[in-house]
Structure formats: structure tokens, C-alpha cells
Structure 1
């Protein structure tokens, strides 16, 4: 077995910490976290408490120099500058979405990276989800006819994201469409085919706040798709469904369910909630990161897939 990949992390917020913990606890055979950079004063203390053997370095450049693959978990405006720096240094890159806050910048970056044969992928965890794999198995018995996607939130940002509300709650970089709907668009693109927007309506509050509601019609590989989302529409922190033909669905990120003859949705007996499935998903994601870094075939979301998702997201958000 090849040695684990040296992984650097820039951005030690929720996602950076989550991936680090997964790497240490579940993916030691795939990656070894070697260095982190985050300018927030409390980040170093959190890292020391979680992983005292992983160094907090003084700059992004130092982390890039120390690693084989860079994980970028910063606010979106920094994704492409950091990715470009890492690729220029000969490193592989694993990016959070969206690729950028500007579509033209994202398009230019993807074109450059593809032309150079860059080793780069984007963190859409549904690429590694056992529940999604089960849906794909069930889908072989169906001819896709229609898809309904619904997302709802008690508040935005979600309770566990309040520390990042400074950008997640703002129209420029945040909002549930970029943060959550994008995952379901990725899933839809993978399962059904290319996306095309028919119509959409985003609702915004006064000021620079992120969207509070979204309705859209689109197609995926020619299949009609309806999408609804809203804040204050559920008592849950986060509730979502992806329903194909009214017959199979993904619910709340991790439950693959079939509609029974009795009209009730049922999941397999070994189904588990997202908080329990997440470590397995991240373990598989990190195995993909190791393969991608070595130049091997992998199942992770490509830059092109992430760009197509972002183009759809920004088109919907521009319909206020």
C-alpha cells in the first residue's frame, strides 16, 4: 500500500476542523495532516487541543510548501487564489465549494486547470455517500420522469454555522443556495445529466442579506426538476428531500428511502443519520483525495462539475 498523502489545510473553521478530525480518526491510511494555517487567534489553540502533532504555520505559503495536497476551507473569495498558488507549486488541491464569488473567475480558473491537467477536485461529499450509492442502485429499475428537491431551515445560517455568519448570512458569498442547494444540484447532475434552468425566483430581505426563499424549474438530462427552498419553513435546523418519480428519495442527507405499497417511506434497517454516516463519507472522500493526488482515477467531484453547479446556482440567485 502506498504511504499516506501529506495533507495541508488552510482555513480551520467548521469544515477544516471536520476534515482534520476525519483524517485523524478514520483515514490514516489515505492522508496524514501535516500543517494548518488560519489567521484567527483562537484557531491555534483549537488545533493544539485536537491534534498537538499537527503544526499551525504562519502563512498559507508555508502550508503549501509543507504538503502534497492542499485542502482549501476558507471563505469563497480565497478559494481560487489559494488553489492557483498550490497548483503553481506542484501540489494537488481539494477545494470547498463554490469555486469563487465571481463566475468569470471560476470559468477562467477551470479552463486553466483543465488545460494544465491539474490534480484538483471539489468537496461534494455526496460523491462518497453510501445512501447515494444505494439510490443509484435503485434508480436502475426506473425510467426517470420527474424530480422534486426541497430544502428548509429553521434559521440561516444553521445553528452550528453561526460562527461563520459574517459571510454565510450575506448575499455576496453566503446563502443556502450556494451552501446547501449546490449539493443537490451536484447529485442531480451526476444521477440525471446536464442541468438547464427554465425559470427561478429568489427572495431577498432588505440590505445585503442572503436569500430567504427560492423556487425554480429546471431540467437535468431532459428530466423536469422542481426546486423549493426557504428559511423559517421547518422547525428543524436543516431538512431536505431529493425525490425521483415519487418512488425513491434521499432525505436529510443520509436516508435512502423507497415508497412502499402502503404509502409510507422506508429506509433499509442499517440506515443511519447524517452525524453517524459523515465519518464514513469523509473517509471515502479522503481516499479519493489520496488517489487524486497520486494522479490515479478517483470518484470526487471535478472542477468542471463544480463549475456547472455554480453556474446554475448563480443563475438562480440572479432572479430576484
Structure 2
């Protein structure tokens, strides 16, 4: 059980990039609604890194005792292990906050969502756009007439190389077709956002290129319809010098707005992009967004309304991602 104290107790499974980011956010000044009960990772190197950086954080020698200790399980392990940990949380009656996707296999993800819904599980998936101040700005512009009636939208992502430099330690799965690739890792966030802002998506024509034998995709193009709104999707590796660049652009009768590089909301004024007042680069925006996510995790764990990405939303994104990637099956060597 949760051993009490201030805030909802969270146990972290997986101490890679995302596990460390959430831990730092939970220890920050903006996250008093949660506390970290402890961390487990199967890698001795990861646990040694945790001990060096945060010796005050409990380190567990297995998943079961960690789950027993906390009220909410945060799963930040590689995707192939998500489902096992999520089912363990479900069996223990704990709340679940999981990185996407829920499972590598879509059918198994569907089955888990059915079981979780039937059990009334308190669960959500970590799509940070659910708590992004930049997304709040887009919604405000959509509501106040800045854009007017929407006509179309574009999603574009680009990378100098894949994986990105800060993910090289995870290349063993991030650049493999079973679990990895930028469509699952990055594009999925923008597909979630499009669904939130524009409505559920259906997939039209799509293409994927797999030029490197055994590796993940290097180019994706797809046409979606969010309701009746056409949405063009493009992703490329190797056609930009930037490690990571991205944008969701909304074109309306009265104007054009976009979210770029994860955290900058902009509108097109006299042919030039103008940032929203107070816009922050991702390095500064991330801890604010994660702190807001953690407030919602606390609400979710307590059974209160929260606004995090639901299991159903995450499943819809996964189904869309896998359908896009399947369009490239004929190109797989």
C-alpha cells in the first residue's frame, strides 16, 4: 500500500530518459501533489546512475514490491514490457500512468483496454500535449476567431538522424521495426494532438520507406481526415540539419496558427510567424508541462476528472500509427 505522506505515491518502472524526466519533475517545486515511492529498472547501470544522482530515492529489486508500495504505477520501460507492467498494476488495483504505446501488439493493447475499462481502472497515457501551455494557446486562438473555420492542417516532423543524439543508448529498440521508429516515438504525439483538437482520425493513402535493412522507417507520408478536415502528414530522416524539428499547422478562413518544436505557439501575421507572448523553448517548457501532467496524475489516481490522455485515446493513436507503418510492409527487406 501507499505508505502515506504528502502527495500521491508514484512508483517508477524504468529509469531511462522518460523515467528520469518524470522523477526530476516530481521532485521539482511545481509537483507537490505527488511523491516518488521508489524506482525499479532491470539495468544495474541505470540503478547505479539513480543512486549517484538521487541517493534519497528508494531503489527496489523487483516490480512487485514497488507496485505494492505505491498508489500509482508509472511505466517508462521499453514498449515490449509495457503490457506486463500495466497488467500487474491492474491486478494490484493500482492506478496506471504509462508511456505510449500500451503494447507492441495492437490486439493485445485492445484486450488490455477492454479489461481495464471493465475493471474501472484509473489509467492514463503520457501524452504531454494534454498539459501543454502552447496547446492551451492554440485552443484559445481557435475559440476567439483568430483562425476562423478550419480548412486543413499539416503535421511535419524531421530529424537529422534517427535515433536522436540523446537517445543513442536506447538505439537497440528505438531503431528497430518492432518497437521503434519516429512514427511511434514522435509522430504519435502529434496524431494525439490532432485528435484532441480536430476530432478522431481516419487514414487515407499512406506510404513508408524502409531503406535501411532491419532498421525503422526513414520517411512517412499520409493523408488523414479528422472529421471532414483533411490533415497531411509528413516525416523525414536526413533532410534537415536539426536533431528534431516538428510542427502542427492549422489553416483557417481567418488565419493560420501552428505549434512548432514541441512548445512554441505561433500565428501567421502579414506573412511572418509571430510567437505567442510568453512562449518558451522546449527545455524551459518541459518541466512546466510535466508538473501539470503530475497534477493530473494525482487527480486521476484519486478518481477525479483530470484531462490526461485516456486509454481509448492512446489506443486510437496506436491503431493509427500501426496502420500507417503497415502501409510500408511491401518495402520491408
Find the aligned partners of 1:40 and 1:27 in 2 and give their Cα distance: 29
Q: Which moved more, 1:199-208 or 1:284-293?
A: 199-208
| Counterpart position of 2:217 | 211
TM-score, normalised on structure 2?
Answer: 0.94
> Do the aligned residues in 1 keep the contact of 2:14 with 2:40 (CA within 8 Å)?
yes
Aligned to 1:306: 314
Aligned counterpart, 1:150: 156
Alpha-carbon distance between aligned partners in 2 of 1:254 and 1:292, rounded to the nearest angstrom: 24
Residue of structure 1 aligned with 2:193, choices 180, 183, 187: 187
After superposition, the C-alpha distances for 1:88-123 in whole angstroms (9 at most, x for unaligned) are: 111101000011110100011111111111100000
**1:100 corresponds to 2:109:** no
Greater mean alpha carbon deviation, residues 238-247 or residues 22-31 = 22-31
Q: Secondary structure at the match of 1:71?
A: strand
Instruction: Please state how far the C-alpha of 1:27 moved relative to its aligned partner.
Output: 4.0
Partner-residue secondary structure (3-state), 1:280: helix
CA distance in 1, matches of 2:14, 2:47: 11
1: distance between equivalents of 2:33 and 2:53? 19
Q: Among 237, 242, 246, which residue is 1:240 paired with? A: 246
How far off its partner does 1:248 sit?
A: 0.3
Decide which of 260, 267, 274 is 2:282's aligned counterpart. Answer: 274
Q: Which residue of 1 aligns with 2:228?
A: 222
Structure 1: which 5+ runs fail to align? none
State the alpha-carbon separation in 1 of the partners of residues 170 and 63 from structure 2. 20
- Structure 1 segments of 4+ aligned residues over 6 angstroms from their partners: none
Unaligned 5+ residue runs, structure 2?
329-333
When normalised by structure 1's length, the TM-score is 0.97
Higher mean Cα deviation, 31-40 or 19-28?
19-28
Q: 2:6·2:35 contact (CA, 8 Å) conserved in 1? A: no
User: Contact 2:31–2:295 at 8 Å: present in 1 too?
Assistant: no
1:252 to 261, 271, 279: 261
1:110 maps to which of 102, 108, 113: 113
Equivalent positions of 1:135-146 (< 5 A) are 135-140=138-143, 141=145, 142-146=148-152
Aligned partners of 1:5 and 1:68 also within 8 Å: yes
Cα deviation, residue 268, structure 1: 2.2
Mapped partners of 1:174, 1:222: distance in 2: 31
Distance in 1 of aligned mates of 2:10 and 2:36:
5
Match of 2:300 among 275, 292, 295: 292
Equivalent residue of 2:61, what SS?
A: coil
Deviations 1:218-258 (A, max 9, x none): 11121000000010111111000110006000010110000
Q: What's the secondary structure of 2:207's corresponding residue?
A: strand
- Residue 269 of structure 1 deviates from its aligned partner by 3.4
Q: What is the distance in 2 between the residues matched to 1:288 and 1:269?
A: 25
SS at match of 1:121: strand
Superposed CA RMSD: 1.1
List per-residue Cα deviations over 1:164-206 (Å, max 9, x = no partner): 0000000110000000000000000000001000110010024
1:277-297 C-alpha deviation (Å, 9 max, x unpaired): 000000000000000000011
- Give runs of aligned pairs for residues 36-75 of structure 1, distance below 5 A: 36-75=39-78
Deviating more after overlay: 169-178 vs 264-273: 264-273
**What SS does the aligned partner of 2:97 have?**
strand
2:26 is the alignment partner of 1:23: yes
SS at match of 2:197: helix
CA distance in 2, matches of 1:174, 1:27: 32
- Rounded Cα–Cα distance in structure 1 between residues aligned with 2:44 and 2:51: 12
Deviation at 1:306, TM superposition (A): 0.2
What is the total number of aligned residue pairs between the two structures?
318
